[in-house]
Amino acid sequence: MKQRPVQVIGVPLDHGAGRRGVGMGPAAMRVAGLDAALERLGAEVRDTGDLVIPAPETEASGRENARFLDVIARTCTQLAERVKDALDAGALPLVLGGDHSIAIGTISGIAAHLAPDPAGQRPPKLAVLWFDAHGDINTPETTHSGNIHGMPVSCLLGNGPAELTGIGFEGTKIDPARFAQIGLRDIDETEKRLLRESGIRTYTMADIDRLSMSRVMDEAIAMTEGAEMLHVSFDIDAVDPAVAPGTGTPRHGGLTYREAHLAMEMLADTGKVTSVEMVEVNPTLDERNRTAEVAVELISSLLGQRIL
């Protein structure tokens, strides 16, 4: 089967996070050799550059419980269109963040490409594997910070501001039965309840310790059966900060270097991955661009790099 061209889309958005810096993530990953790494894999690389996003200092922060909602909604709407166009053209969108609020745009664009049920009665046949230390399932009503990078999962389930839940089309973009979160270890009490009620499959670090990453990935991959597309959303804070220190919300006890690569290699072996995003790389908190280099290495494993 012919390999899809890889269309790189940079989204230098840090309005959804609690601290500045992740907006420089796309540049850091390019500096770390992303395009060259993809070309070594034999991929046709189409780097379309970055979306143009105003600095937070030039924008009103807006609602206290959904900070910078307007600019995030505009950015995610534009991103959804870019992702849909890439998929319509037969490319694999590789989205570089930026904070994790951009997933609202990425996944809404994929869902729109899949042409959902016109009556809006069921979400598109999209499977999502979401690697993250955090649940990202708060809403404006439950958030303690007002940071939208803690809300994308709820928005994609149709629970959130209309400016975000209506991107692409109104309503739910993901099916909880085809959505798995992997690497969880920092979840507040409200999020625990929301995750239990959501029907999403969750794998905490304790689950990975007990079952092994190999078994967790076998189960998560089995969950994707029947889906038309498979999206991988990777927050670099899923990886332990001893390996990837350059991120705004680091938590000890995360994925090891090899656990993260094994997960990516197993996904590559399926041949099913149709879109990817890598988020929350913050070079202002990094050590000589080390975290961006890890991110590029993980993307390479996901897109087919092999040890032998």
Positions annotated as catalytic residues are 100, 132, 134, 136, 149, 235, 237, 280
Q: 171 vs 107, 157, 163, 175, 196, CA distance in Å? A: 12, 7, 11, 11, 21
Residues 6 or more apart whose CB falls under 8 angstroms from that of 103 comprise: 130, 152, 156, 233, 277, 279
What is the Cα–Cα distance from 241 to 304, expressed in whole angstroms?
A: 25
HEC sequence for 147-163 = CHHHCHHHHHCCCCCHH
Cα torsion through 33, 34, 36, 42, rounded to 10: 160
What is the Cα–Cα distance from 6 to 97, expressed in whole angstroms?
A: 16
Are 127 and 42 within 8 A, CB to CB? no
What is the Cα–Cα distance from 268 to 256, expressed in whole angstroms?
A: 19
Q: What is the DSSP letter of 225?
A: T
